Structure 1
Amino acid sequence: MSKARAPRFLYLLARAARAAQMIGDSGLADIGLTSAQSGVLFLIPNEGGASVSAVSEGLGLAQSAASVLVQRLEQAGLIERQTDPNDRRAVLLTLTARGRALRAKAIERAQRMNSAASRGFSSEEQAIIARWLQHMIDLKEEARE
């Protein structure tokens, strides 16, 4: 009697992550963004700002990688740095008018891509998948501590 092979979750997750990155990047290419860049735009509120540290944490990136993304978006005229009115030593990233416009387009694209990714799955199945993905993120955070 043969034993059923257990799913190779980490392998499948790694393949799915690469596929999701490619899908995201191709879905945003015509508006000149990558999925990582749109992630930065999503983390900066339309009104107000966010720190580079908040962007780094929100995307799960090293501070240096977040800084590179921020520099590219700044050079593209999508974000700018402003002094934090609550702490004159700190800098906040804010969206420019062009950044807000591209953010709105990217949000609409992300909603379409998320709909396509969840098509055919019940809301209960989607909740289980989301719970498992968050579990994986939490395991990574626990390993850092």
Structure 2
Amino acid sequence: MQEKLVYQVGMVAHLLENQYNDQLAVHGLTVAQSKVLFLLVENGPLSQVELQQYLYIKGSTMTGIIDSLLMKDLVEKSDSKVDKRSKIITINEKGRKLDQDLWENLNVQENELMDGFSEEEAALFLKWLQRMKSNLLIQEEGVK
């Protein structure tokens, strides 16, 4: 099993997620909530539907994430001007500051993780992971 790529990738992902969850717990956040903050910083206001598409999750799950972020006063929700049934989610200044702090912590974690890798090795590794993700998404589409 130690020689299987899927096992090693899964184990690294599991350990990374545990470490990141510990960092997020200090702020009372989950990984999914931190991803929403990031998406809102990067893309500006988004509808709940757009957010769930970015995160590959169901509407009910997205609603729970948004409700949690609203209770923490990190985002705001408003009616869409185009479609009143659609809700637009916007990050506020408190959420923006928290996202910035999270990225600073994540950059430290990534630097520690990639210790001993050259810039070329790190770039190649990232390219391979992106290709694997693409292959998985293609497989998933083929199953549907």
Q: Which segment drifts farther, 104-113 or 65-74?
A: 65-74
The 2-side partners of 1:36 and 1:114 are apart by: 19
Matched, 1:139 2:135: yes
From 95, 98, 106, the equivalent of 1:99 is 95
Pairing 1:12-23 to 2, within 5 Å after superposition: 12-23=8-19
Q: CA RMSD for the aligned pairs? A: 2.3
The 2-side partners of 1:117 and 1:80 are apart by: 34
In structure 1, runs of 5+ residues without a counterpart are none
**Maintained 8 Å contact 1:24/1:34:** no
The 2-side partners of 1:76 and 1:134 are apart by: 33
Q: How many residues align?
A: 141
CA shift digits 1:15-60 (9 cap, x unpaired): 1111111111112222222232211100002784012233223333
Q: CA deviation at 1:7?
A: 3.1
CA shift digits 1:65-101 (9 cap, x unpaired): 3332222112222112122345444321111232122
Pairing 1:94-133 to 2, within 5 Å after superposition: 94-133=90-129
Q: For 1:84, give the aligned amino acid.
A: S
Q: For 2:60, give the aligned amino acid.
A: S
From 53, 62, 77, the equivalent of 2:73 is 77
Query: Match of 2:57, SS?
Result: coil
Percent of residue pairs identical: 28
In structure 2, runs of 5+ residues without a counterpart are none
What is the TM-score with the length of structure 1 in the denominator? 0.82
